[in-house]
Structure 1
Amino acid sequence: MSKKTFYVTTPIYYPNDKLHIGHTYTTTAADAITKFKGLQGYECEFITGSDEHGQKIEQSAKKHGKEPIEYVDQIVESFKYLWDKLEVDYTEFVRTTNEDHFEDVKYIFKKVYDNGDIYKDKYQGYYCTPCETYWTERQLDDEGNCPDCNRSVEWMEEESYFFKMSKYEERLLKFLDENPDFIQPAKRRNEMINFIKDGLEDLCVSRTTFDWGIPVPIDKDHIIYVWFDALTSYLTGIGFRRDEQKFNNYWPADIHIVGKDILRFHTIIWPTILMAADLPLPKKVFGHGFLLVEGGKMSKSKGNVIDPVKLIDDFGVDAVRYYLLREIAFGTDGSYSTDSFIQRINSDLANDLGNLLNRTVAMVDKYFGGVVPQAKVETEFDKDLEEVAQSTFKTIEESLEGLQFSTALEELWTLIRRNNKYIDQTQPWILAKDEKKKDELGTVLYNLLDNLRRVAIALVPFLPQAPAKMWEQLGIEEPLESQSWDYVRTKGQLKVGTKVKNGDPIFPRIDVEEYYEKLEKEKKAKEAKEEKKMAEENYITFDEFGKLDLRVAEVLEVERIEGSNKLLKVQVQLGQEKRQLVAGISKHYEPEELAGKKVVMVANLKPATIFGVKSNGMILAASNDAGDLTVTTVDRDIDSGSRVK
């Protein structure tokens, strides 16, 4: 009998900067479904990695004064650090700069070329460097920008190799018709089909205007297009051309999990490349929605990027993963807010789950000396409790097959809350007062403990730490790692006589006010540290600069100050106001040279008396080491009094 295998991928993330909570969302989902399949007995491969080539990386590296590989090495380490903190158990991290990947990309390119599907021509069109994407004029947005990121595009003309993607239009549509579940969710499928029906154009698959990438195997003057390069990583990660048995066991991939913004690359470009290379297509591509914050989609320019490392440090990995998977229906856009985050932790994790564990273990300690009792009799509430349990686990299985993590967790919490209700219904504290109801009390507490055992196993795909803490408090000797989904569905697997271990709450409640006070203190401490550093380096803060009131002033009259060989008395027009000031520039300017000029002055300088003359402001000037000096003027006509910012 052949073994059951499961293969899931995340996008190969672009190392242009540190990852944010949106990337964490994708990877957490992939990790959760992998761990669930592991519980079901599948041998799993979970591939993630970094897409390290392209013009954008080359430009960023140059900006930072580094070689591209030196630049990406540092950022890739931050990727791995985040996945470690998130306790993500990927099986392979593919870097597109690795030698194996280099050879795989060149092999696929050459095979598609040998099949007659790549040709050389001249590219003329629009290119978005941030997205590494080509666009026709009709595909640009209403303002002529990239339709994906809304940033400006550049017109390009260069000799390129082209992939005959248009050749596969009908074949791809036929495939989608025969495999309606290939693109998920369904509304994304319709979007992609409409895109294809608008007409596929041949894809430019090489560049000559930069060097950072994989050379075209038939022409060393060309670099392979970054998306052709990156998508091939899904083959590299499972031993393509190096481990035939492994590759055949896992390809085609069960699921590519991607953000909706790169769905087109995975459901149109990738399938047509695979068709041209005579390779099977993946079974499913799931395009999830965006994780939005105040101000919309996260971006560094908006200053609304949520740092997942900070969240994990503040709240713990379980809380972060639970919120991401529970709060948002996978496939739709969702919103992040710190208030809703803390509310989820307090209500679901601390109140519902944590309280159920604490109450149950404490009652076993109190009424049975900490030893798991036997369920000798049945209470009137037991049948309904088990029906809820069976329904819950069935729904979880069905939900996770469709990557509906939120529904699965909502269902699991239905069971957790049902167990809390079971305590209220059976009232163990009342049963404990009647010796004749000792057996009934034992049944109640056994059912609660056994359901906590089942919940702990069911939580393994979602929370990396809480299940082990629950396992320890339940006193179960068998390793949690040895448990399977069958142990979740089967009632009564907890051994009678097991010694429970009362412990600290696994999810302490969070005081919202205290948390925000802590954040404010951290913010002030950081600002103070930055201000100190800037002061030491002779920098000023933006707020300090903002204290300067710089204005354009028109020089009306200028005269020398008697007795001084360097001072001039200057009358200026500052909007509706006239000012007098003293300027030490008579060695460089004759009075008549300044009259009529529009200069820049500091308007809010404290008034002073200089050489017996009142001065209310200061004209700005520049000088060099040779002693030359020139006043600062404006190069276009503008009203006096205008602010200089």
Structure 2
Amino acid sequence: MTSRFYVTTPIYYVNGAPHIGHAYTSVAADVLARFHRLSGHEVFFLTGTDEHGQKVEQAAQNAGIAPQLFTDRISADFRDMADVMAISYDDFIRTTEPRHIKSAQALWQKVAENGAIYSGAYEGWYALRDECFYGEDELVTGADGVKTAPTGAPVEWVKEPSYFFKLSEYQDRLLELYEKNPEFLGPNSTRREIISFVKQGLRDLSVSRTSFKWGVPVPGDEDHVMYVWFDALANYLSALDYPDMSAEKAAFWPASLHLVGKDIARFHAVYWPAFLMAAGIELPEKIFANGWWTVEGQKMSKSLGNVVDPRELVKEFGLDSVRFFLLREVPFGGDSDLSRKSMIMRNNIELANDLGNLCQRTLSLVARNCGGVVPERRVLTDEDKQLLGQASLLPQLLSDRMAACALTDALEDVWKVIRAGNAYIDHQAPWALRKTDEERMKDVLRVLLDTLRSIATVLQPFMPQSMEKMLVQLGVNENERSFAALEVLLPAGRSLPAPQGIFPRYVEQEAG
């Protein structure tokens, strides 16, 4: 049976333009989706936009246009960002779509039927910027005596009729979930924070608003719209045609992995499982929170003018150089800093020098000394076997890394083989063997070609365009690029195209 893999990004909030943080989570999810496809799994990869709520209504008013027109524009911008970053999503969900509204209302009705929603009045602190309710004990009082949310967002005292979700009744079940399934929530820093939050005690959650209208109407009471997070989280089901669980796409539930930013971990790791428990729906297998990006050591903010559009980086550095840097710089799950110096160094040292040169040297030697034809694999020395053995382990090694969302570690595993390949070519010196032992030279070049094929195959999820070029130059046909295909050697005698550089060195323009 083919195993299924359902991966999601958070749906991105449309009160502003896409930035590097959005691209980061999307690229990570894309790498996982592409990796599972190459493993022969059936994949469903979902991304999209979160388009309701008071913040969106206000942003549309400030722009002087209707909320739907505003969300159409920003959602299209997020879709463009995904396409520029080569995000291979299977579906792009929008919470203003009829299919989503139908599913969110069906989920509400199921939770309500099971007795987990009741009506009352909400009175308490609300942070519009976070779209989040906070208890008095969570607020921070500044030197000026002004209260703010723990995130620094301004809070206001809100009083209005509301429906409540009985979150307090799920505290023990949630703690049991985290304890019995340590893999459910990662990384460890986020897991510890969430457990600490839940242990402090959960209060029932206000899940509807009456003070604005831009939202999904509550079934049976259209004076209320759903709290934006109840609506938004339902997208993971609405893309599968919930409540029709007999639909073909429904087979992908439960989700294999929800990738989220750490700022929204609470909603995904506390509220979402509780909503699903209340609806009697199976829980997702894993939630993993990635860190935040700073720019040259500073927090991104509109006021500082340092919000980075990933599409601008792609124009300057190239798509795969950007994708590589995002997942290479800092262990996935931690906070990262976007520095031009680091980006140029990663491009020039690891891509152009390490991988680019290994490929270029090997292919140039094959072109010059073997007539551009793949030589036979004949006699293998211990050194040959060692390098080929390292390369052959990559698919399984990376499979284990992917299961743990250790994407940066996966790249380091590949780079160990690349560095070993460079040490091997230097030590074997096939250019010198040309004069002393032509057959041995061919054996060395064959070992390098096979090693490069393994490297390029496993790097396809990270750098799809560059690895496509590399595999073409290595003579690997489209039907020979899966992990299973690596078990079959490329036939000797296959003609290779003329070698071309894949990773140009980046040269900083002189200011003038």
The TM-score normalised by the length of structure 2 is 0.96
What corresponds to 2:30 in structure 1?
31
**Corresponding residue number in structure 2 for 1:44:** 43
Equivalent position of 1:341 in the other structure: 343
Deviation at 1:28, TM superposition (A): 0.3
Q: Indicate the residue corresponding to 1:561 in structure 2.
A: none
Per the alignment, in what secondary structure is the counterpart of residue 41 of structure 1?
A: coil
Query: Could you tell me whether the CA contact under 8 Å between 1:11 and 1:258 is conserved in 2?
Result: yes
Worse-matched range after superposition: 86-95 or 286-295: 286-295
Moved more, 324-333 or 369-378: 369-378
Map of 2:482 onto structure 1? 484
Match in the other structure for 2:63: 64
- The range that moved more, 446-455 or 391-400, is 391-400
Q: Whole-Å Cα distance in 2 between the matches of residues 145 and 381 of structure 1?
A: 66
Query: What SS class does the counterpart of residue 10 from structure 2 fall into?
Result: strand
Asked if structure 1 preserves the Cα contact closer than 8 Å seen for 2:217 and 2:226, the reply is yes
Is structure 2 residue 497 aligned with structure 1 residue 495?
no
- Given residue 487 of structure 1, which amino acid in structure 2 is its aligned partner? A
| Residues 58-80 of structure 1, C-alpha deviations (whole Å, 9 max, x = no match) | 11101111000001111111111
Counterpart-to-counterpart distance in 1, 2:7 and 2:395: 23
Question: Aligned partner of 2:447: which letter?
Answer: N
Mapped to 1, the partners of 2:400 and 2:421 lie a distance apart of 22
TM-score scaled by structure 1? 0.77
The alpha-carbon deviation at position 304 of structure 1 amounts to: 1.8
The answer to whether 1:396 aligns with 2:392 is: no
Deviates more, 1:172-181 or 1:291-300: 291-300
Q: Is the 8 A contact 1:356 1:420 kept in 2?
A: yes
Q: In the TM superposition, what are the counterparts of 1:277-426 in structure 2 within 5 Å? A: 277-294=279-296, 296-426=298-428
**Shift in alpha-carbon separation, 1:389–1:359, aligned structure 2, 3 A:** same
Alignment partner of 2:500 out of 489, 504, 523: 504
Cα distance 1:72–1:153, how it changes in 2: closer, same or farther (>3 A)?
A: same
Contact between 2:9 and 2:259, CA under 8 Å: does it hold in 1? yes
Kept in 2, the 8 Å contact 1:240–1:247? The answer is no
Alpha-carbon displacement from aligned partner over 1:71-119 (angstroms, at most 9, x marks no partner): 1111111111111111111011110000011111111112211211111
Return structure 1 stretches of 4+ with deviation > 6 angstroms: none
Taking the TM superposition and a 5 Å limit, the aligned residue runs for 1:2-13 are 2-13=1-12
In 2, the alpha carbon distance for the partners of 1:286 and 1:148 equals 21
> Following TM superposition, by how much is the alpha carbon of 1:187 offset from its aligned partner in structure 2, in angstroms?
2.4
Q: Which has the larger radius of gyration?
A: 1
Gaps of 5+ in 1: 522-645
State the match for 2:451 in structure 1.
451
SS of residue matched to 1:387: helix
- Tell me the residue number matched to 1:93: 92
Matched residues in 2 for 1:145 and 1:413: separation?
49
Match of 1:22 in 2: 21
Mapped to 2, the partners of 1:316 and 1:294 lie a distance apart of 20
Q: Which moved more, 1:145-154 or 1:125-134?
A: 145-154
- C-alpha contact (below 8 Å) 1:135/1:146 kept by paired residues: no
Paired residues of 2:44 and 2:90 also in contact (CA < 8 A)? yes
Cα displacement (A) at 1:378: 2.3
- Of Structure 1 and Structure 2, the greater helix share is in 2
- 8 Å CA contact 1:323–1:344 kept in 2: the answer is yes
Alpha-carbon distance between aligned partners in 1 of 2:250 and 2:61, rounded to the nearest angstrom = 41
Where 1:510 maps in the other structure, the secondary structure is coil
| Aligned-pair CA distance for 1:4 | 1.0
Counterpart contact for 1:326–1:409, Cα < 8 Å: yes
Trace 1:210-221 onto structure 2 (pairs within 5 A). 210-221=212-223
Give the conservation status (yes or no) of the 8 Å contact 1:205–1:224. Answer: yes
**In structure 2, how many angstroms separate the alpha carbons of the residues matched to 1:190 and 1:511?**
43
| AA in 2 matched with 1:420 | N
Aligned twin of 1:463:
463
User: Helix, strand or coil for the counterpart of 2:25?
Assistant: helix
Q: Is the 8 A contact 1:358 1:502 kept in 2?
A: no
Cα deviation digits, residues 430-481 of structure 1 (max 9, x gap)? 11002xx2221111011111111111111111012011111221233x215x
Does the 8 Å contact 2:387/2:451 carry over to 1?
no
**Conserved 8 A contact 1:475-1:499:** yes
Q: Which has the higher contact order (CA 8 A, sep 6+)?
A: 2
Q: Decide whether the 8 Å contact of 1:104 with 1:232 is kept in 2.
A: yes
> What's the offset of the Cα at 1:403?
1.0
**Offset at 1:394?**
3.6
How far apart are residue 392 of structure 1 and its match? 4.0
Deviation at 1:136, TM superposition (A): 1.3
Q: Work out the number of aligned pairs and report it.
A: 509
* 1:385 match: secondary structure: helix
How far off its partner does 1:487 sit? 3.1
Specify the code of the residue in structure 2 equivalent to 1:327: E
Q: Give the C-alpha shift of residue 241 in structure 1.
A: 2.5
Q: Which moved more, 1:251-260 or 1:180-189?
A: 180-189
Distance 1:29 1:146, change over 3 A: farther
Task: Measure, in 1, the Cα distance between the counterparts of 2:250 and 2:237.
Answer: 11
Answer with 145-154 or 74-83: which moved more.
Answer: 145-154
Counterpart in the other structure of 2:473: 473
Note if contact 1:295-1:302 (Cα within 8 Å) is conserved in structure 2: no
Structure 1: distance between partners of 2:317 and 2:396:
31
**Contact preservation (8 Å) 2:103, 2:241:** no
Q: Which amino acid aligns with 1:35?
A: R
The CA deviation at 1:145 is: 4.2
| TM-aligned CA distance change 1:60 to 1:509, over 3 Å | same
2:120 match: secondary structure? strand
SS in 2 for 1:509: coil
Aligned residues with identical type, % of pairs: 44
Measured in 2, the distance between the counterparts of 1:97 and 1:13 equals 13
In 2, distance between residues paired with 1:195 and 1:91?
34
Write the distance in 2 (CA, Å) between the matches of 1:379 and 1:113: 69
Residues 194-244 of structure 1 deviation map (CA, whole Å, 9 limit, x = unaligned)? 111111000000111111111111211111100000000000112222462
**Structure 2 unaligned blocks of 5 or more:** none
Summarize the alignment of residues 149-228 of structure 1 with structure 2, pairs less than 5 Å apart.
149-228=151-230
> What secondary structure does 1:508 align onto?
coil
